[in-house]
Amino acid sequence: MNQEHSAHRFCVAPMLDHTDRHGRYFHRQLSHHARLYTEMVTTGALLFGPRERLLAFDEAEHPVALQLGGSEPADLAQSARFGERAGYDEINLNCGCPSERVQRGAFGACLMAEPALVADCVRAMRDAVSVPVTVKHRTGLDRAEEYGFLRDFVGIVAEAGCEVFIVHARNAWLKGLSPRDNRTVPPLRYEVAARLKHDFPALTIVLNGGLRDHDAALAQLVRVDGVMIGREACEHPWMLAAVDQRYFGRPAPHATRESVLDAMRPYLRRETATGVPVRAIVRHMLGLFNGLPGARHWRRTLSDPGLLASAGPKGSDRLLDRALGSMRRGEPSAALRAHTAECP
């Protein structure tokens, strides 16, 4: 499978409220090689909304993919053009979101019932851009588990030129479950993703869903080309510090949590000077010390409304120093310097 050469060997999942540009910049300080994804951006938002703001990202984020939500081939093609012009390395079509709001827009997971339409969308985007066009999808819809449904979906979309399929290894239950429950209640079906790789060996198959640590993720790489981790990377972001070494055989960008914070300081100063609220950035950093004694003090300081309001454009360094100080008072400083070898 040439896994060591796959651009999708390790990916951080697109997640609403988590993988905005500040979250992605933070994640990039932890791993140079993880593939990052935006939150889903709808075609309507790009065509009629604040396009420049929605597409903004830092050059340090590469490789980074733009995830689109939509079902009109022409709109998706134009949105893909916008994404490529902005500098994104990949355009990803969301065929996995089960929310009722997304269903009302006739895109997301419900598109799996219309593989010919998805193929038209992929073809239109591929004709419009030179960067890869990929698809993220589920293993099926509702409680139906016939493999043939998924096999035919992938086969039809692959004929349109899609070469990378990110498989969230659960069915999408379109009725009766919230998006949150749809991430945990439908059973995991890892064997289905592995079967896709067996049946479509030329395609890149990336497994997503339920992966909580590196040992579990690496164990799947004997059957698929890549893995995608979501919530765990946000709740325990320090896990990303082990990615470059364990998946790519490369050194980590930073050996300690403290050096990651030092790398974030210039970004905080620069962004807050343009009017970005401090909270918009540091909220992504709340979990950096999760699992260590004193982490509660870190989170409490960075979440304090009064401290956040008083930080201002020139106060981000003081805020971080205060958070570190509160943590040190409850935990020896050695915890801050914990090496990446301690990552799960």
What is the token pair recorded at 242? 């082990």
User: Does the active-site annotation cover 97?
Assistant: yes
Q: What does the DSSP assignment read for 8-43?
A: TSEEEPP-TTTSSHHHHHHHHHH-SSSBEEPPPEEH
Q: Catalytic: which of 11, 95, 97, 162? A: 97
Peptide bond into 63 cis (omega under 30): yes
| Unique residue bearing structure tokens 């709001």 | 101
Distance CA 273, CA 91 (A): 31
> How far apart, in Å, are the Cα atoms of 56 and each of 25, 46, 122, 217, 264?
12, 12, 23, 31, 18
Count the neighbouring beta carbons within 10 Å of the beta carbon of residue 202.
6
In degrees and rounded to multiples of 5, residue 290 shows phi and psi of: -55, 140
List the catalytic residues.
97
